[in-house]
Structure 1
Amino acid sequence: MKKLLLLFLLSVSFTMTSQISKRIKVDGKIIVEGQDVDAITVFNTSSNKGVITNVNGEFTIEVGLNDLIEFRALQYQNFDLRVTEAIMQSKRMRVFLIEEINKLDEILVLTKGLSGDLPTDVSTVKTFNPKLDALYFGIKKSDEYEFTDDPRSGIENEVMHSQSTTMVNGLNIVNVVDQLLLPLFRSKVENKKTVGVPDVPVSSIKYYFGSEFIIDNFNIPAHRVEEFIRFVQDDVDFDYTHLNYGKELEFLEVLNTKSKEFLKMNSDKD
């Protein structure tokens, strides 16, 4: 019996050690529209260990496959991501955080049905919270209201969504293209009506985020982002339908091809 117990304890110890050894160090960077990226908390809930970002928004943390990583800061909306194979292989994370606008729920005041007692009326009145501030890059038409869930709200299969093959380095690429690249490229089209590209509201253009994505993923120098956008759209064979929803992956393929041509052309000039 003692031998069996010893073997069991050794087996448990070996299993725990092997699970810990599977964690690797990953370099990450927080990208925001402003400059306040210092001391943002990055916490691995699976290992109960966390770190904080430096003045450049950079951090290093140990992660394992399927670990849940939380990003928390008072001035930004909470953001969580699940560690994927892509993150494990690339050993890096790039996380976009959105500024949090703290506000109270709006209260709909009716002409009747109020008791006159403020605490009682506040506790019983129906409220709603339209998130008019920028939402995470997972929602199309972010200028529309998103009402708080109620008992009639449908159930969304977020588990399947988070494991989508379009996740790269913790980002849902399709949604990033929708929210960052499409508005940016659409805004640079001069003859929008002729080529069938809709006007883009200024509020929907996240130039800083979009340019950072191009710099980070296509190796375009920061001072040549505008030049690269013009280079893509000046191509006589450029298909403007790629700026429509539903063609995000095809559009990324175009950008990948054109970025190589652009970099080669500029290297030849140098």
Structure 2
Amino acid sequence: MTRAKSIVFLTLCLIQFSIVFSQSTEIQGKVTASSDIDRIHIINKTANKFTITNDDGEFFIIASVNDTILVSAIQYKPLEILVTPQIIQSKFISVDLSDKITELDEVVVGKILTGDLMSDIENSDAKADLNFYDLGIPGYTGKQKTQSERRLHAATTGSGLVPLTPLLNWISGRTKKLKAQIARENADGAMDEVKSHMSEMLFNIDNLEASKRVEFFYFVSDDPNFLPLSRTNNDFKMLEFLQQKLQAFKSQVEEN
């Protein structure tokens, strides 16, 4: 092979190598695990892409060479995969997840009392009182109201041609205050659920020091768009929302 041909061949190899490294490709993946393999989070941390597995543990995600893909689920150990040229060429990833085992410090045999009333009742042999449902008597079986909701109901109901209680509570501002309190409690409940469900995934993509995470989630829950979004149960949109809020929170912390 002449020198000119060698140079041309080397140039073509470099071009092909460069194309492989720079191109984004849709990769198919298959997750295997001991039990549930649906709705497992698949995150391209480098390209900031996100998807979930279907009922068969299959997924598709866009990736390039050297991207880092995180596979995460509550019941399994998180697994990071570096995308190699071989993966790009084959357009396939096989993922085998290991169970996340929680070790107990000690095992206690028998019933113990903890000081927590509800826990101790459940651990004891005490029997619950009969209720209307046990006796076949019609009654309310819906969601029980919180203390704040019961107070709001009492503040906004009354009898007579012109109910005075709701009117007085509206004038005094008590009704408005109770509604605001209920909204805050709902936001706090949604915040706790999102924090439990999304923290690991979010901070694996964009880390935040542990001491600031509680403050961050309160920052998130103060956004009027948070509560409606939390009710949609859409992991895609919630993750995007949390990432946007995280950038805003970091900017605010840096300014202070």
TM-score (norm 1): 0.31
Higher Rg: 2
TM-score (norm 2): 0.32
Higher helix share goes to which structure?
2
